Amino acid sequence: MQRIFTLINKSIRYIKHFGIKSFLKKSKVYIKDRLFNSKESISYEEFIKKDQVFKVSSIKKEIDNLKFNPLISIIIPTYNTPTKFLKEAIESVKQQFYTNWEIIIYDDKSNNKDTIIFIKTLDNLKNKNIKVFFNTKNSGISITSNKAVDKSSGEYLVFLDHDDTLSPNALYEVVKVLNKNKQIDYIYSDEDKLSKKGQREDPFFKPDFSYDMLLSCMYITHIRVVKKSTFLKLKGLNPKYDGAQDWDFALHLYEKKGSFYHIPKVLYHWRKTDQSTANESSGAKSYAYKRQKELLQAHLERQEIKARIEEGYWRGSYKIERKIDGNPSVAIIIPFKDQLNYLKDCINSIKEKSTYKNYKIILVNNQSSKEDTLKYLETLKNDKSIEILNYNKPFNYSLINNFAVKKIQSDFIVFLNNDTKIITPQWIEEMLSIAQRKDIGAVGGLLLYKDDTIQHAGIIVGLGGVAAHSHRGFDSMSNGHGGLLTLTRDVSAVTAACLMIEKSKFLKIKGFDANLKIAYNDVDLCLRLQKIGLKNIYTPYMKIYHYESKTRGKTVGENTIDTGIFIKKWKYLIKKGDPFYNPNFTLSKEDYSFRKI
């Protein structure tokens, strides 16, 4: 029953953002996909069997050779914890390959007799590695955690919820990272969940740090390792945000330019209970969601960001709607050659749908020859919102767009394919609110095929050996892995089928690479933007249809040439791996299935 309520809530939010017509269309595809098109992939159970094979002797030998062996304090605040779960949490620490740890258990005035008796038993054992303390009154998780930290002796803190467990290699992996860089302030890892039967399921293989994704949801919760000196410098956890205190802390750390590091391994197992937000159907800790919005608002105010916060597609996710600075001009560049039906649909959808009015459509005619196309262009000559440029040379996507940019006056540019159709009325505002930021390079959105399955949700470098689209083929009602489809977040690149960029930034990197005539010119552009310190962002709140590649037909030979150029140019990045695509996923498919280890 709860799943039905969850689906209803998600549907309401979808209708709010995109309207009832879009919702009904997508629902049809969603149901069809669920009934007939479920895809097979490697099971997580199979993945675990291979991933959890440890060469213990090799690991212990490596630990013995570590130069830096910090004491790690495991912080466990307790309150009426079922003793079975607390025992498992403690046992998971005892089973760690890395043994220089201490456990700080701080009880928040439990009134469950079994919990109290068990914790007092631990205290009576006088185990040097386990220290037990008791609050005199119930104070909440933040104050209790802060008190536990005050009693700790370690250089680094690991926050372990009283009913969760650690993988046996958790501390070993953490210390390996610290041996390379002791200055890291915050380490997080991948995670999965423990069912009520204790089975591991629902893994979340995370991307590397993304500030925009952190604003969308608290995705870096577990494992949470914090340098103690940093924790104290930031004055610990704020009890005002109990239930979401870890998110508030992470945002404060970001504000202070603290460093974040991601370990792409499942090191933490988050238990689903009736009281845990790990169990999405429980409805537990509803107060936490109220505080999430409050802490996000407080962060925006501290950063002097003018924005409003709206609920995202699922509970615990949010949309940060930034205010647009002024009324900047936007040039929408559309290269085309004939294909009149597509061109008309594209232009009409812009004119009919767009709520932002300070735009101009720049049509770049690349040797159209059909009479109906030429007649249509004649009818547009008196339209002040449209300018027509003629590019009378062989097709080269990069040169065509570079040519157009030099001819126009505008603050921002949208590169838009002629085989597209606008869905979201606020599409320009959504992209502009992000693109106007000083730290942003390119902005792209969610592109759908005609059948309402996903064509683009960001580009992953290295996928398919070169670069490919995130979640291609998923149904548009899906959240994607870990909610990635529905979150505004950093990506390595976005498609130029619909890409916004500030004109000055485009000119700064000298536009598209003319050597890439057809393929990968957009990916190359985005990677060069990254190289000068700018970020590329995907937003799920900008949607268009894209009838991909119908405008040019097959260009396999030329694409092969472009592929070779791109690989040669970005070989080191392809080899390194996309920071926003977890290495536990396969590189041979776009469906986020697990790689074979």
Decide if pLDDT at 13 tops 90: no
At 90, list the tokens.
Answer: 């403690």
Per-residue confidence (pLDDT) for residue 557, from 0 to 100: 46
Per-residue confidence (pLDDT) for residue 51, from 0 to 100: 84
Q: For 500, which DSSP code?
A: E
Q: Please report whether residue 311 resides in a domain.
A: no
Query: Could you tell me if 282 and 419 lie in one domain?
Result: no
Per-residue confidence (pLDDT) for residue 30, from 0 to 100: 47
- Contact (CB, 8 A) for 165 and 269: yes
**Helix ranges restricted to H, 436-484:** none
- Helix (H) / strand (E) element for 439: namely none
Q: Please report whether residue 524 resides in a domain.
A: yes
Q: Please report whether residue 88 resides in a domain.
A: yes
Number of domains in the chain: 3
The residue count for the chain: 597
Cα 251 from chain centroid (whole Å): 16
Per-residue confidence (pLDDT) for residue 16, from 0 to 100: 64
Q: Please report whether residue 593 resides in a domain.
A: no
Q: Across the chain, which distance is largest between two alpha carbons, in Å?
A: 92
Range of the domain at 419: 330-576
Query: Could you tell me if 112 and 250 lie in one domain?
Result: yes
Bridge pairing between strands 130-134 and 101-107: parallel
Query: Could you tell me if 81 and 121 lie in one domain?
Result: yes
Least confident of 156-165, 281-290, 374-383: 281-290
Query: Could you tell me if 104 and 71 lie in one domain?
Result: yes
Give the mean model confidence (pLDDT) for residues 553-558. Answer: 44
Confidence of residue 552 (pLDDT cuts 50, 70, 90): very low
* Alpha-carbon gap, residue 270 to 193, rounded angstroms: 4
* Alpha-carbon gap, residue 480 to 591, rounded angstroms: 9
Q: Of 287, 302, 317, which residue constitutes the final position of a domain?
A: 302
- Contact (CB, 8 A) for 448 and 546: yes
- Helix (H) / strand (E) element for 440: namely strand 440-448
* Alpha-carbon gap, residue 492 to 413, rounded angstroms: 19
Query: Could you tell me if 365 and 435 lie in one domain?
Result: yes
| Averaged pLDDT of the chain | 91
- Contact (CB, 8 A) for 158 and 171: yes
Query: Could you tell me if 260 and 386 lie in one domain?
Result: no
Query: Could you tell me if 31 and 80 lie in one domain?
Result: no
- Contact (CB, 8 A) for 400 and 496: no
Give φ, ψ of 181 to 5 degrees.
-155, 105
Least confident of 260-264, 347-351, 592-596: 592-596
Q: Please report whether residue 596 resides in a domain.
A: no
Q: Quote the percentage of the chain above a pLDDT of 70.
A: 89
pTM of the model: 0.90
* Alpha-carbon gap, residue 170 to 178, rounded angstroms: 13
Query: Could you tell me if 229 and 262 lie in one domain?
Result: yes
Give the mean model confidence (pLDDT) for residues 192-216. Answer: 95
CB atoms within 10 A of CB 282: 14
Query: Could you tell me if 254 and 298 lie in one domain?
Result: yes
Give the model confidence (pLDDT) of 391-433 as tens digits: 999 999 999 999 999 999 999 999 999 999 999 999 999 999 9
Decide if pLDDT at 74 tops 60: yes
Per-residue confidence (pLDDT) for residue 2, from 0 to 100: 43
Give the mean model confidence (pLDDT) for residues 472-486. Answer: 93
- Helix (H) / strand (E) element for 310: namely strand 307-311
Q: Please report whether residue 71 resides in a domain.
A: yes
Q: Please report whether residue 520 resides in a domain.
A: yes
Q: Quote the percentage of the chain above a pLDDT of 90.
A: 83
Decide if pLDDT at 34 tops 50: no
Query: Could you tell me if 32 and 59 lie in one domain?
Result: no
- Helix (H) / strand (E) element for 408: namely none
Decide if pLDDT at 325 tops 50: yes
Q: Please report whether residue 41 resides in a domain.
A: no
Decide if pLDDT at 497 tops 90: yes
Give the mean model confidence (pLDDT) for residues 532-548. Answer: 95
We report the CATH number of the domain holding residue 237 as 3.90.550.10
Give the model confidence (pLDDT) of 351-372 as tens digits: 999 999 999 999 999 999 999 9
Query: Could you tell me if 297 and 340 lie in one domain?
Result: no
Query: Could you tell me if 208 and 154 lie in one domain?
Result: yes
